[in-house]
Amino acid sequence: MDEILEQLRRDVAAATDSKQVEQVRVKYLGRKGIITTLAKNTDFSRLSSEEKRSFGQRLNALKSEAEQLLKEALEKAKAAEKDLVRKVAGLDLSLPGIDRRLGSIHPIALVQMELEEIFQGMGFRVLTGYEVELEYYNFDALNIPPDHPARDMQDTFWLDNGMLLRTHTSANQVRALETYGVPLRAIFPGRCFRNEAIDASHENTFYQLEGLLVDRDISVAHLIAVMKTLLSQVFKREVTVRLRPGFFPFVEPGFELDVQCLICGGKGCATCKQTGWIELIPCGLVHPKVLEFGRVDPNIYSGFAFGMGLTRMAMMKFGIPDIRLFNSGDIRFYEQFPAAF
Amino acid sequence: MKISLDWISDYVDINDIPVDVVADRLTMCTAEVEDVLEVRRSVAQVVVGEVIDCRDIPAAPNLKLVTVDCGTRRFQTVCGAPNVRKGLKAPFAPPGTRLANGVEIAVAEVSGHRSEGVLCSPAELGMSRWHEGLLECPPSLPNGAPLAQWIPDRDVLIEIDNKSLTHRPDLWGHYGFARELAAIFRRPLRPLPVVDLSQYDHLPTYPLTVDDYENCPCYGCIDLRVRAGVPAPLVIQRRLHALGQRTFNLMVDLTNYIMWEIGQPTHAFDGDRVHAIRVAPLGKPGTFVTLDGQERQLLPDDLLIWNEKEPVALAGVMGGLESEVTPTTTHVLLESANFKASRIRRTSVRLDLRTEAAQRFEKGQPPVNVKIGTARALQCLIDSGEPFEVLSRFTVAGDLKEAPRPLSIPWRTVDTMAGQKIPRQEAVGILRHLGFLAEEKGETLEVGIPAHRSEKDISIPADVVEEILRIYGYDRIEPRLPEGPMAALPVNVGLRKEHQARRVLAGAHGFVEVQNYVWLDDNWLAELGYQPGETLTLKNPPAQTCRRLRPVLLPNLLALVRPNRAHRDMFRIFEIGRVFRPQANDGCEERTHLAGVSFRSSGKGDQEEHFRSIRGALEDLGAVLTGQALRFVAGQDSPFPWCVPGYWVKILLGDTTVGAAGVLDPVLARVVALEGQVVWFELDLEAIQAPIYPVVHYRPLAVYPRSWQDFSLLWDVTKGFDSLEAVLSKFQHPLISEREFLYVFKGKGLPQGQASYTFRYWLAAPDHTLTGEEIEGFRTAFLSFLQENGISLR
Ligand SMILES: [Zn+2]
């Protein structure tokens, strides 16, 4: 029996695949296999009962040893065969993807969409006005009298029909008050135009986002808190802001809102020109005359307004050094802003 | 505007406060400080020297050999200054003195003469950059006296952003800033020294007429006998130089000094050249020679100062050459007037004559400055020590508006605007520091707005509250978010459509969003052969060929193909923007359009496939925006050159036309792309009216398996797919659950002019699996339908 086992071991070792292992199994354990027939070919009558028991035990041991050997060999062969199949398939999953269909969204639109979401979350509705605007809404109704320097030919694109290309999104303030009344919380993102020479930091076509909140007893304290909350969301962290006097005919008092430089934390760096502050948002309490133009009683209501340069925000956010790129038509520029929304 | 702290110290003591604190508080409370500059002057060892002898040097025509008396010593020096002359007193730097440019004065040999020390220009002393002549000292200064007595070696200039002063005419002079600093640091403000002009009331009135009170609300003048040409006191000269102003003579420097001190421009006429003043517009076109010698073209509206019938000054902008004071003038008419801001602005902008006077009048000076300017000028004359005689009373036409303007402000308004309670005594104190009358009367703050603050600047309660809060400090206001009832937030449907379009085109179809200007270039329109008809036009366009506002987006988008084809073999771009059409009564119709262009350099797939890929994007877009299928209908003749029949389709939603799409015909494709194929579309987003959230109905899923049958049908290419669809849609059979178009084949083995269109018919029954007979029944019915309609199978 030991000889049989030795021979089996040799046969198993020689088997290279599962098919050959199966042949070995048939040779030893098949119906006519060497081990199967071992019992048949033995004349038990000539054995004592002691010998019979001993033979039976050894046969069973041999059988189970053989089964175990074959089982292991089969598993090993099958695993090797799987490996072989996979190797033949030759999948290279490290190759780059194909069929990508993602385009890009204009960087200013990206910033606009983000700010719209933030403001909507703060209860501001989003309104759009007109790019071709009446002189009345762009100037008169904003307490900018006919002789104000802002109306000079060199600053405003005038149309032959007497209308103009709006010079600021503030032109929406009185339109919105007329249409929607008070209380009102609204932002007006949009394109504005000023007739100036173009260079890396000046464009005749740019985007602003105006905000207006009118309600009872609106104060400077409210303005600061809303701006602080807003900017913390824009910059995704707590920001420090400060107000200082600034003059715009349609607010009283008027402010320049500075945000503490996010790069140096206020210590002073090249970005903030060593001042520790970045001038960001002109704002103020709505001038009573503007409320009156919007048919709102300034004795009952007050409000604040602010203007953000969307183009400037996009330049800051994406590190774009030249304002002319936005209208350049060069897809190598636009492609850099994937359609993330 | 630069502020000299030397000058400020005449009126308020802030020397103990660090300069950076002063600058910071000014920025936070008043106006933006742009820079802080230090002036270092080299006056040590420099003394007053008198030129007692001045001779030509024959070998050097530009040089003089000069003897300078310095009291205890005399020096011989060679001097090249054009204004060196016998009797002149000027700063003298003896040998060993180190000047501002770092040069140490040594005894030298110049043109063969010994030269010991130098007579100095303002630049050599570090007073300013002016080096074209010697600094002239008043004759009363003792020879040999150290110059440092009158010219300290240091000053600090605070530079303010002029843009932050446009609404504050009172801050265009030092006294205004002294007042601000007094309020900011709660320090006393010394009054401006002025003479009492009423002491001259007994003198004759000067002949004065104002014809145009609209543009000249107030005009004042006083007639003086004074030597105008002597040098001004050094305190005046050092301060003007520090601001970068050169000095001339007593009267000219004095008028400049008054302007830089209180913001009020004054003008000195040669009293012998004027006899009676009239203020009136020119009335007809004409010319006038200003004191810089330039002849100016004037319009009838331009306001002038006249000597009887002769114009002598361009009001508020610049005096005339003829009536200018000269070094020999001894009779001066001093004008101090008030002009309407917009009148002065219009004239000065048009003539590009942006003088310091014009800049100040443009801001709207208060009329009271007419009087203060005169009274301060006479005080400075007294201080100068130069004798003078007043020949007329201070003659005024118009209203000086000297009285404070009363205003009552409820304390509640102050607290409400701030958002917190403002201590009343502090508020009153701030206003008084700023020169306001202020009284706490129960629930009301009674205010008198001082005459020096213009009406444009301060007239309503909000203006006064701003004065309180900015000095109180905005940083002392506690931020508080507004409360308010919850209200529904309506969706902006238009913007939502724009953003959805971005998401579909850029997110799913690889389009790149671009932006163009709103005007069209005539040259490009001519290349395209596009005549846009009536458009809105700019009066002052950015370029002469860019007057038209775009009525459609496509032309500017097509213009991007050529430059970008250098970078990419293929690209898809789109733009969302406003387009404009003129309306009746000078109106404008403004709509939001969406347009796109797809470019492929030639050889990359056929045009039909190209168009279908863009049409697929539009079909997706239609599904997202409307929940319905857009319809594409063959386009006919059109005014747009890119709409060539056979090359374009109209896009409809229901029966409404919402846009167009097509392939550029070979002729235009050559213009736009040089080589390659271009597919385009333009949609009127506002015409696409659909529910924001499209209604979708669930269809039950098939319980029993579906079968399919494919058919390849031959059909005339020129008739098009649409017409084949129209025929097939007439075939009704209860087993059809869906008809699917698989592909079109055009190629060898097909009859001339025909293509093979393969459709898959999905068949099913709601209650059982189909049998072979049922499917065969469908086939038979369909094939006989095809036969009836003359359609054969491939
Ligand atoms: Zn910084």
Choose among A120, A125, A332: nearest Cβ to B567: A332
ipTM over 0.90: no
| Sheet strands (E) in B324-452 | 331-338, 388-390, 395-398, 405-410, 437-441, 444-449
Q: Could you tell me which of A245, A240, A281 has the C-alpha nearest to residue A264?
A: A240
Whether A120 contacts chain B with CB within 8 A: yes
For residue A278, the CA-to-ligand 1 centroid distance in Å is: 8
The whole-angstrom separation of Cα B35 and Cα A274 is: 12
Confidence of residue A94 (pLDDT cuts 50, 70, 90): confident
pLDDT, tens only, B139-149: 999 999 999 99
The whole-angstrom separation of Cα B680 and Cα A330 is: 18
What pLDDT is attached to residue A153? 56
Confidence of residue A152 (pLDDT cuts 50, 70, 90): low
What average pLDDT does this structure show over B695-722?
90
| Ordered strands of the B736-745 beta sheet | B707-716, B754-763, B736-745
For residue A231, the CA-to-ligand 1 centroid distance in Å is: 17
For residue A316, the CA-to-ligand 1 centroid distance in Å is: 13
Using a CB-CB cut-off of 8 Å, the residues of chain A touching B465 are 253
Q: Say which amino acid occupies B734.
A: P
Handedness of CA A63, A69, A73, A75 (dihedral sign): positive
Choose among A153, A220, A246: nearest Cβ to B469: A220
Asked if the model's pLDDT at residue B172 lies above 70, the reply is yes
Choose among B477, B514, B537: nearest Cβ to A220: B477
Asked if the model's pLDDT at residue A167 lies above 80, the reply is yes
Using a CB-CB cut-off of 8 Å, the residues of chain A touching B25 are none
Choose among A127, A132, A220: nearest Cβ to B590: A132
The angle at the Cα of B573, spanning B571 to B579, to the nearest 5 degrees, equals: 155
Q: What are phi and psi of A14, to 5 degrees?
A: -75, -20
Q: How does the average pLDDT of chain B come out, rounded?
A: 94
For residue A275, the CA-to-ligand 1 centroid distance in Å is: 7
What pLDDT is attached to residue A36? 82
The whole-angstrom separation of Cα B184 and Cα B521 is: 55
What pLDDT is attached to residue A341? 63
Interface test with B, best of A99, A106, A179 (most B CBs within 10 A): A106
Q: Could you tell me which of B23, B260, B6, B361 has the C-alpha nearest to residue B159?
A: B23
Asked if the model's pLDDT at residue A42 lies above 80, the reply is no
The whole-angstrom separation of Cα A158 and Cα B339 is: 28
Choose among A102, A126, A229: nearest Cβ to B507: A102
The whole-angstrom separation of Cα B120 and Cα B90 is: 7
Give yes or no for a contact between B305 and B248, defined as CB atoms under 8 angstroms apart: no
pLDDT, tens only, B20-70: 999 999 999 999 999 999 999 999 999 999 999 999 998 888 999 999 999
Give yes or no for a contact between B371 and B400, defined as CB atoms under 8 angstroms apart: yes
Asked if the model's pLDDT at residue A103 lies above 90, the reply is yes
Q: Which two tokens stand for residue B226?
A: 């004074």
Nearest CA in chain B to A106: B513
Neighbours of B413 (CB within 10 A): 18
Interface test with A, best of B26, B35, B417, B455 (most A CBs within 10 A): B417
Percent of chain A with pLDDT over 90: 58
Q: Could you tell me which of B463, B402, B399 has the C-alpha nearest to residue B434?
A: B463
Give yes or no for a contact between B621 and B501, defined as CB atoms under 8 angstroms apart: yes
| Ordered strands of the B303-307 beta sheet | B208-210, B277-281, B303-307, B310-314, B318-319
Burial per residue of B236-262, b for 16 or more beta-carbon CB atoms within 10 angstroms, e otherwise: bbbbbbbbebbbbbbbbbbbbbbbbbb
What pLDDT is attached to residue B424? 96
What average pLDDT does this structure show over B73-92?
94
Whether A157 contacts chain B with CB within 8 A: yes
Q: How far is A93 from chain B (nearest CA, A)?
A: 24
For residue A328, the CA-to-ligand 1 centroid distance in Å is: 30
DSSP track, A308-340: EEHHHHHHHHHT---GGGGGS--HHHHTTSB--
Q: Could you tell me which of B200, B215, B263, B206 has the C-alpha nearest to residue B1?
A: B263
What average pLDDT does this structure show over B354-371?
94
pLDDT, tens only, B400-416: 999 999 999 999 999 99
Taking CA atoms, A14 is separated from A17, A29, B352, B425, B673, in Å, by: 9, 17, 106, 108, 71
Decide the pairing of beta strands A184-193 and A125-126: parallel
Q: What is the DSSP letter of B538?
A: B
What pLDDT is attached to residue B407? 97
For residue A239, the CA-to-ligand 1 centroid distance in Å is: 13
Give yes or no for a contact between A261 and A271, defined as CB atoms under 8 angstroms apart: yes
Q: Could you tell me which of B450, B399, B432, B388 has the C-alpha nearest to residue B195?
A: B388
**Least confident window among A38-42, A219-223, B8-12:** A38-42
What pLDDT is attached to residue B406? 97
What average pLDDT does this structure show over B489-506?
94
Asked if the model's pLDDT at residue B698 lies above 70, the reply is yes
Q: Do A109 and B513 touch (CB under 8 A)?
A: yes
What average pLDDT does this structure show over B595-613?
88
Q: Do B515 and A106 touch (CB under 8 A)?
A: yes
Q: Is the peptide bond before B191 cis (omega within 30 degrees of 0)?
A: no
The whole-angstrom separation of Cα B405 and Cα B189 is: 21
Neighbours of A184 (CB within 10 A): 22
pLDDT, tens only, A246-281: 999 999 999 999 999 988 988 989 888 888 999 999
Residues 429-468 of chain B with CB under 8 A from chain A are 460, 462-463, 465-466
Give yes or no for a contact between B97 and B44, defined as CB atoms under 8 angstroms apart: yes
CA B36 from centroid of its chain's CA atoms: 25
Half-sphere exposure at residue B237, Cβ-oriented, CA atoms within 13 angstroms:
28
Q: How far is A179 from chain B (nearest CA, A)?
A: 14
What pLDDT is attached to residue A130? 97
Confidence of residue A206 (pLDDT cuts 50, 70, 90): very high
Q: Which two tokens stand for residue B621?
A: 């877009």
pLDDT, tens only, B201-226: 999 999 999 999 999 999 999 999 99
Using a CB-CB cut-off of 8 Å, the residues of chain B touching A244 are 27-29, 32, 474
Give yes or no for a contact between B590 and B579, defined as CB atoms under 8 angstroms apart: yes
For residue A119, the CA-to-ligand 1 centroid distance in Å is: 27
Choose among A159, A255, A339: nearest Cβ to B539: A159
Give yes or no for a contact between A317 and A114, defined as CB atoms under 8 angstroms apart: no
Q: Do B503 and A341 touch (CB under 8 A)?
A: yes
What residues have CB less than 8 Å from B27, skipping those under 6 apart?
A244, B33
Confidence of residue B421 (pLDDT cuts 50, 70, 90): very high
Q: Do B416 and A222 touch (CB under 8 A)?
A: no
Q: How does the average pLDDT of chain A come out, rounded?
A: 90
